[in-house]
């Protein structure tokens, strides 16, 4: 049997004199060690799952292998154990080169005495570490199990009750395969109680979120693209007891779609199996949401972004190029940048920061702001400040909308002593109209990464009460624009002089294309009616999970 010692950073395991006690996968030819997990609790009746681990990667005799606590899904003292200090450990380990992880389960005998190997330690009665020479031993294996489990789930609770929503159409139809091959084995390994529901039509997740019993689940896991979390939060928003829904239920995503910005920004990965582990081990936090308001439509929640101009065109206007995969987006952007495409509009902001210096100071002050996730929301938390006074008719503000109001454009507006007071609905400030007449990109967001290698909002903070704005002018010379676009992976574009970058608490965009032409407005990657829109913020409304409690690192702090 394998032998184990308990260390401060995980369990150290090595193969003992006897063979590892793994159940052999009946389908394998013996060249692989695998196992069947017989305890699937999935209501869809998906049956047992198998994860194969290549033998060459399994434990080597006489070598201590560290299993970090974070990788441990479950530890148990089997009721039929032959010896008192026998534990069954279920943990994850990398498989292949794609960043995926698989599940391993094995029986180990825990060593309680220091041996000659300096890398091993001794455990005391509470299962805590004692690196010194001592004869202390644990007496009750259940204490040891408890101790290891509390370290394995130091930021979260084991066995959350999950509602898993999956969209069979997401990710070009691959989402179910991702779920069964990568997500489900981890859930089963962690003994999670989960219910799987497949969405049957667009809007189905809205209905599910509107109707679920709030006492039945702790977390809704969207095994999809960004479309399902967008629907789930809107389903909650339409409930009469929405304050309770958002207070009780965590919304998260494991990446099984084409656009997976939530998972990348919050769980730090685009690999479904790894995201599932992060989801189980990460910290529950609160994040702000945005409210998208358009005349003639009820307000909709948005967790990610709103965009008009080149990005919206490249996202939604290139649907016909789907056969190109994700390249369609880059091609769409490039085509329009080279053609100096412009999207005239008028834009007004409720500024929180105007200049890049102000933004940096704000960022430093609000970075790593903690909050109490157990505080219950009330209906007051959903009150909109600017909806009742929404006016998206530019002529009611300044007559002829295309007249230039502010003269020459500057990428950082001059610092103003008369900064708008947050509660004054009159204090909207219209952005330089010459720039708006020549707008190339308008992009507003709440999460830093919008796709792989695209750190579009590096200064986004989950609960700072602001929306990040990135805006560009089509008159900018091509070289500077391309330079900015090639800096997106590291988030360095926002430092370029040609790129406007603000934090605001609300904004409005009124498209004014010539001759009644139409373009696109994209919200969380979904197409919205092409008309004026106003967006404001709801502070700390959504409970979600983030690795280490914060967004994926963007590198912004180091640049300040």
Ligand X SMILES: Nc1ncnc2c1ncn2[C@@H]1O[C@H](COP(=O)(O)OP(=O)(O)OP(=O)(O)O)[C@@H](O)[C@H]1O
Residues that bind ligand X (CB under 6 A): 167-171, 199-204, 224-228, 231, 257-259, 525-526
| Nearest CB to ligand X, comparing residues 3 and 300 | 300
| SS3 assignment, position 379 | helix
β pairing state of 250-255 and 219-224: parallel
399 Rama sector, left if φ>0, alpha if ψ -120 to 50, beta otherwise: left
| Nearest CB to ligand X, comparing residues 322 and 369 | 322
The minimum distance between CB 253 and ligand X, in angstroms, equals: 9
The minimum distance between CB 362 and ligand X, in angstroms, equals: 32
| Nearest CB to ligand X, comparing residues 438 and 522 | 522
The minimum distance between CB 269 and ligand X, in angstroms, equals: 16
| 226 is known as an active-site residue | yes
Pair of tokens at residue 505: 């608490």
Helix or strand run (H / E) with residue 301: strand 300-302
| Nearest CB to ligand X, comparing residues 328 and 552 | 328
**Where do we find the tokens 């509390």?**
150
- Work out the number of other CB atoms within 10 angstroms of the CB of residue 173: 10
CA atoms of 513 and 510, how far apart (whole Å): 10
| Nearest CB to ligand X, comparing residues 150 and 202 | 202
Tell me which residue of 219, 186, 393 sits closest to 294, measured CA to CA.
393
Instruction: Give me the sign of the Cα torsion angle 215, 218, 223, 224.
Output: positive
| Nearest CB to ligand X, comparing residues 174 and 475 | 174
The minimum distance between CB 484 and ligand X, in angstroms, equals: 25
DSSP lists the bridge partners of residue 546 as 283
CA atoms of 483 and 144, how far apart (whole Å): 56
| SS3 assignment, position 18 | coil
CA atoms of 118 and 222, how far apart (whole Å): 45
The minimum distance between CB 470 and ligand X, in angstroms, equals: 21
Tell me which residue of 463, 375, 374 sits closest to 157, measured CA to CA.
374
| Backbone φ, ψ for residue 105 (5° rounding) | -130, 130
| Nearest CB to ligand X, comparing residues 202 and 378 | 202
Tell me which residue of 151, 128, 124, 120 sits closest to 139, measured CA to CA.
124
CA atoms of 141 and 526, how far apart (whole Å): 52
Q: Which residue is nearest to ligand X (CB)?
A: 225
Q: Which of 124, 140, 215, 226 is catalytic?
A: 226
The minimum distance between CB 168 and ligand X, in angstroms, equals: 5
The minimum distance between CB 257 and ligand X, in angstroms, equals: 3
> Measuring CA to CA, how many Å separate 186 from each of 26, 39, 91, 92, 512?
20, 12, 9, 8, 50
β pairing state of 219-224 and 161-166: parallel
Pair of tokens at residue 145: 């199990």
Catalytic residues: 226
């Amino acid at each position: 049997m394998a032998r184990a010692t308990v260390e401060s950073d995980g369990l150290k395991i090595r193969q003992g004199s006897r063979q590892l006690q793994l159940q052999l996968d009946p389908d394998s030819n013996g060249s692989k060690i695998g196992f069947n997990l017989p305890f699937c609790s999935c209501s869809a009746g998906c049956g047992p799952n198998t994860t194969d681990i290549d033998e060459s990667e399994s434990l080597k005799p006489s070598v201590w292998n560290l299993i970090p606590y974070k990788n441990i899904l479950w530890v148990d003292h089997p009721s039929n154990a032959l010896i008192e200090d026998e534990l069954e450990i279920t943990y994850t380990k990398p498989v292949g080169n794609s960043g995926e992880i698989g599940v391993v389960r094995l029986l180990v005998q825990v060593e309680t005495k220091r041996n000659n190997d300096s890398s091993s330690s001794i455990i005391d009665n509470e299962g805590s570490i004692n690196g010194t020479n001592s004869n202390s031993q644990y007496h009750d294996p259940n204490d040891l199990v408890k101790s290891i489990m509390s370290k394995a789930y130091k930021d979260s609770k084991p066995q959350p009750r999950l509602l898993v929503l999956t969209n069979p159409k997401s990710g070009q139809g691959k989402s179910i395969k991702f779920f069964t091959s990568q997500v489900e084995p981890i859930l089963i390994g962690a003994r999670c109680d989960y219910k799987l529901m497949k969405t049957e039509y667009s809007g189905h997740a809205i209905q599910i979120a509107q109707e679920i019993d709030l006492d039945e689940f702790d977390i809704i896991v969207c095994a999809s693209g960004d479309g399902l979390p967008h629907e789930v939060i809107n389903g909650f928003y339409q409930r009469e007891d929405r304050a309770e829904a958002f207070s009780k239920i965590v919304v998260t995503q494991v990446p099984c779609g084409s656009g997976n910005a939530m998972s990348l920004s919050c769980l730090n990965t685009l690999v479904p199996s790894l995201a599932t582990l992060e989801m189980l081990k990460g910290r529950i936090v609160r994040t702000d949401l945005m409210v998208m308001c358009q005349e003639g439509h009820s307000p909709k929640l948005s967790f990610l972004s709103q965009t008009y101009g080149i990005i919206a065109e490249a996202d939604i206007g290139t649907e016909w190029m789907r056969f190109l995969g994700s390249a369609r987006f880059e091609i769409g952007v490039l085509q329009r940048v080279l053609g100096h495409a412009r999207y005239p509009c008028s834009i007004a902001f409720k500024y929180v920061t105007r200049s890049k210096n102000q933004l940096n100071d704000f960022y430093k002050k609000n970075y790593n702001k903690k909050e109490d996730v157990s505080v219950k929301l009330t209906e007051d938390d959903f009150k909109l400040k600017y909806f009742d006074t929404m006016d998206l008719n530019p002529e009611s503000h300044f007559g002829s909308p295309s007249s230039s109001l502010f003269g020459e454009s500057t990428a950082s507006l001059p610092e103003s002593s008369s900064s708008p007071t947050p509660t004054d609905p009159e204090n909207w400030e219209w952005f330089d109209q010459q720039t708006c007449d020549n707008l190339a990109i308008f992009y507003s967001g709440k999460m830093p990464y919008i796709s792989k290698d695209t750190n579009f909002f590096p200064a986004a903070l989950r609960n700072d009460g602001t929306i990040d704005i990135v805006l560009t002018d089509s008159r900018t010379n091509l070289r500077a624009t391309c330079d900015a676009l090639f800096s997106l992976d590291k988030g360095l574009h926002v430092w370029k002089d040609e790129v406007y970058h603000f934090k605001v608490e609300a904004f409005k965009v009124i498209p004014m294309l010539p001759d009644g032409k139409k373009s696109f407005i994209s919200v969380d990657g979904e197409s919205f009616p092409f008309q004026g829109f106003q967006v404001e913020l709801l502070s700390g409304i959504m409970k979600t999970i983030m690795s280490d409690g914060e967004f994926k690192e963007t590198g912004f702090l180091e640049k300040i």
